Amino acid sequence: MDMETENLYDGREQTLAKHYILRRYLLRLALIVGKWRRTINYVDCFSGPWNVRGEEYEDSSFAIAVHELLSAKKKLAESSSPPNIRCFFLEENVEAFAKLHEYSKTVQGVAVEARNNRLEDAIEDIIRFCAQGQKAFSFVFIDPTGWKGFPLKTIRPLLQLSPGEVLINFMTSHARRFITLDQEKENFDALYGDPEWRTELSPLSGDERDDAMVRLYAQRIRAAGGFQFVNYTPIFHRAEDRTHFHLIYVSRHQKGVEVFKDVERGAVEVMEKMRAQVKHKKLISGGQALLFGAEEMHDSSYYSRLRTYYLTRAKNELCLLLQRCQPLEYDQSWELAVSYPLVWEMDLREWITRWRQEGRVEVCMPPGTKVLKRGTGALLRWK
Ligand SMILES: C[S@@+](CC[C@H](N)C(=O)[O-])C[C@H]1O[C@@H](n2cnc3c(N)ncnc32)[C@H](O)[C@@H]1O
């Protein structure tokens, strides 16, 4: 992203991180899926524009999606017949919709349907739209401002679009404050689809409570859509040491998870860089003369603490699984490890190397294989 576009996010750097993930993931998804599906349906259920500064909406999720999907289409056209790209943009607010509609009319190379409606009243339209795409793969983005307007019961048909994937913004910072208020009980139960999550959440606090709020919700999204994989990743607050929201990603393909985890790693770098710059600017504007640059001065202890928390949990759970399943496929160990936020395949490899050196794990690789890799049938045996 160039500096000019980056500047559009001044004061709302969390959106920059969200858009980084959307941008990077969509491009790679379209390049992969576009080779085996004739159509890619992209559905933005809460399109905006919302606090957008770019004259051409370049800092909005809908314009980002169009840009990335068109780039993929162009690239795919170099070697084969490219997929049809179809977008459905939904927005409830009348003024915002007028802008969205104007933008939609300027788009070329992508079929766009823009609707001024509430998500609750547009589900049938979305399903019909997706069904009209031939041999289609559907990607649904749900990016609300709070916790209302997308109860689990309502979005279930969207989650069940197959083949398809869904990305949901879970507003952790709002949920943290409102989830236990009596007047919001019905709304949160509708969001989760049942009241049982309360029992698990009530004894928890701090990072554990934050994690449980999103994990319990993500599990329900996974079950409602019949997805094999679910991931969620924290988006840090621009200036404070806390998570502002989480992005939840559900997929039916291992490849999707691999790409999402790659993008997550990139997003962490982007977030830490931008958080460093925000703090640096604040100090300078307060009149402090600084000897060091933003990144040198940045205190990354919040990120490190969260990563350590997830690494520990993933590693402990993997140890238990290894002891229970003799032998365990490497692919299964990967599936478990990377289902935790901020845990990557490099971490898993590091644990296995150490366990091997300590004589705690035996690795059986098929003849001719030298590197531990997924899809090779490699096995791990706890000793
Ligand atoms: C967080 S903003 C979306 C931001 C946008 N996805 C982006 O990243 O650029 C949420 C948008 O959803 C709209 N909205 C709120 N409730 C809605 C509902 N029930 N159905 C459809 N749109 C809704 C709001 O007017 C707002 O424009």
Q: Give the tens place of pLDDT for each residue, 51-71.
A: 999 999 999 999 999 999 999
Up-side HSE of residue 357: CA atoms within 13 Å toward CB? 6
Backbone angles phi, psi at 160, to 5 degrees: -90, 0
pLDDT of res. 326: 87
Closest-lying ligand 1 atom to the alpha carbon of residue 15: 8
Quickly state the pLDDT bin for 1 (edges 50, 70, 90). confident
Q: Which residue, judged by its Cα, is nearest atom 25 of ligand 1?
A: 93
Q: How confident is the model at residue 139 (pLDDT cuts 50, 70, 90)?
A: very high
What residues are in contact with ligand 1 under a 6 Å CB criterion? 46-48, 50, 60-61, 90-93, 96, 118-119, 143-145, 149
Task: Please check whether residues 364 and 238 belong to one and the same domain.
Answer: no
- Compute CA distances 255 → 51, 258, 347, whole Å: 34, 5, 18
Q: Are residues 243 and 304 in the same domain?
A: no
- The whole model's pTM is what? 0.96
Short-list 349, 340, 103, CA closest to 218: 340
Polymer length in residues for the chain: 383
Tokens at residue 83, please? 């997929």
User: What spacing in Å lies between the alpha carbon of 120 and ligand 1's midpoint?
Assistant: 13
The DSSP element (H or E) to which 168 belongs, if any, is strand 164-170
C-alpha 145 to ligand 1 mean position (Å):
6
pLDDT at 281: 74
Q: How confident is the model at residue 6 (pLDDT cuts 50, 70, 90)?
A: confident
Domain boundary among 243, 261, 276: 276
Mind listing the pLDDT tens digit for each residue in 300-309? 889 999 999 9
188 and 48 in a common domain = yes
Question: Could you identify the atom of ligand 1 that is nearest to the CA of residue 141?
Answer: 6
Q: Which atom of ligand 1 is nearest to the CA of 169?
A: 1
In a domain, 283, yes or no: no
- Is there a domain that residue 67 lies in? yes
314 shares its domain with 218: no
* 345 pLDDT more than 80: yes
Compute the distance from residue 92 Cα to the ligand 1 centre, in Å: 7
The ligand 1 atom at the shortest distance from the C-alpha of residue 64 is: 9
Atom of ligand 1 nearest to the CA of 93: 25
Has residue 174 been placed in a domain? yes
Q: Are 140 and 7 in a shared domain?
A: yes
In the chain, count of helices (H) and strands (E)?
A: 15, 10
What's the N-to-C CA distance of the chain in angstroms?
A: 48
Pocket test for ligand 1, best of 123, 145, 187, 245 (most atoms within 8 A of CB): 145
Q: Which residue has the higher pLDDT, 3 or 362?
A: 362
Measure 330 CA to ligand 1 centroid, in angstroms: 41
* % of the chain surpassing 70 pLDDT: 96
Question: In DSSP terms, which residues pair with 235 in a beta bridge?
Answer: 245
Final residue of a structural domain among 241, 276, 311: 276
Pocket test for ligand 1, best of 59, 91, 155 (most atoms within 8 A of CB): 91
Domain count, the chain: 2
Taking the centre of ligand 1 as the mean of its atom positions, its distance from the CA of residue 27, in whole angstroms, is: 22
**Which ligand 1 atom sits nearest the alpha carbon of residue 44?**
6
> In this predicted structure, which of 16-30, 163-177, 293-307, 309-323 has the lowest mean pLDDT?
293-307
Here the tokens at position 363 are: 């690795």
What is the CA(237)–ligand 1 centre distance, in A? Answer: 20
| C-alpha–C-alpha distance, residues 187 and 202, integer Å | 17
Residues 263 and 312 in one domain: no
| Mean pLDDT of the region 197-219 | 96
Longest dimension (CA), the chain: 65
**Residue 151, in any domain of the structure:** yes
Distance in angstroms (rounded) separating the CA atoms of residues 232 and 215 = 8
For 70-101, what is each residue's pLDDT tens digit? 999 999 999 989 999 999 999 999 999 999 99
Residue with the two structure tokens 């490890």: 337
Pocket test for ligand 1, best of 23, 61, 92 (most atoms within 8 A of CB): 92
**Residue 134 confidence (pLDDT) above 70:** yes
Query: Rounded to whole angstroms, how far apart are CA atoms 312 and 64?
Result: 36
Q: How confident is the model at residue 329, as a pLDDT?
A: 97
Q: For residue 355, how many C-alpha atoms fall within 13 Å in the half-sphere facing its CB?
A: 20
pLDDT at 236 over 90: yes
* Domain co-membership, 153 together with 38: yes
Please indicate, yes or no, if residue 281 is contained in any of the structural domains: no
41's enclosing H/E stretch is: strand 39-44
The CATH number linked to 157 is 3.40.50
- Rounded mean pLDDT of 241-266? 97
Q: How confident is the model at residue 200 (pLDDT cuts 50, 70, 90)?
A: very high
Q: Range of 178's domain? A: 3-276
Residues 88, 115 contacting (CB under 8 angstroms): yes
Q: Are residues 73 and 22 in the same domain?
A: yes
Does the residue 295 lie in any domain?
Answer: no
Residue 292 lies in a domain: no
Q: How far is the CA of 149 from the centre of ligand 1 (A)?
A: 10
Read off the pLDDT of each residue in 257-274 and give the average, rounded to a whole number. 96
Closest atom of ligand 1 to 143 CA is 6
Contact 149, 118 (CB under 8 A): yes
How remote is the CA of residue 190 from the centroid of ligand 1, in Å? 19
Assigned domain for 288 exists: no
92 and 173 together in one domain: yes
Across the chain, mean pLDDT equals: 94
- Looking at the structure, tell me whether residues 311 and 253 fall in a common domain: no
Same domain, 26 and 107: yes
Nearest residue CA, atom 26 of ligand 1? 48
Two tokens at 76?
A: 């795919």
Which token pair is 228? 């094999």
Same structural domain, 225 and 369: no
| Separation of CA 249 and ligand 1 centre (Å) | 18
